Structure 1
Amino acid sequence: MAAITNQELITILGDKFGDKIVNVSEPYGLLTFETSKDVIISVLTFLKESSTTDFNFLTDITAVHYPEKKHGIAVVYHLHSMVKRVRVRIKVFIDEHHPHIPTATVVWNGANWMERETYDLFGVKFDGHPDLRRILNMDELGVHPMLKQYPLEDPNRVDKKDEYFGR
């Protein structure tokens, strides 16, 4: 099988999904684009099942918290087509106050633990997930540690006072 270029992939996605594919870029040669949560499963299914794209490996699902943006959480999918020798990054921005997105376990069984980790660390709820519960932290932990809601350092620490450092 011949490799597929990022430009060919952009054209294929544009023809199939039109204006649902936005903010296309290629940082360091990695094709990156955004879509919405209402079509993410269709996009993932198309990329996996189409013989033209043949993305046969879900590398990772994670999230990034952007507290300064309107939709504060980006759910990020990394896919790899080993046959076509190309990788892609897909971002879906969701509301951090209602972080819901459909589960990708309907496309890849391997998404199960990745979504559990993303739920545990960022609080993203994957609707339809077969077993969405914490995977790394204790069940009693009332926070999601990767959200940027907490100060980086304890403001009460006396060893970090500026006067001790001549500032």
Structure 2
Amino acid sequence: MSKRIVTLGTWDGTPIQWIVLKENKLGSVVISKDCLFKMPFDANGNAKSDSEIRAYLNREFFQQAFCAEEQKRIINTIIDGKKTDIFLLSKEEAENWMTENERNTEKKQLFRSNFGNERGTSESDVAASLIAGGLFRRLNGEGYSFYIRPAFILDL
């Protein structure tokens, strides 16, 4: 069964398409149909709740991708004890809510559960938890960069 696609926001001048993964009275969980950009999880070794990717998604990406009216349709939630608007799906959420075809793009994707709550998650732990394959680029001998497919809860 084909899932509904909604268009909201723009990235690099292109409208963003979102796959509606799960719907209920409180809102609909959506994920970008395509990988929108690539960046490291966190170059400073922060835990996922304080990671650079989380900060980027909820500041720069949120502000740049959506106009004020669109931002009002995004329902914030609590993940890892912190309020968040934009997030990465966990590996379990991706496996439960997405078809294999939707999960497996040609690009290596980052999911929230790729990283533990503790600093110093090992390269092998990260590689083992990636759904769509391994790491694709090492940055400056420290962190790794991943293609990002943001997700959020949308008031449809």
Using structure 2 for the length normalisation, give the TM-score.
0.32
Q: Which has the larger radius of gyration?
A: 1
Using structure 1 for the length normalisation, give the TM-score.
0.31
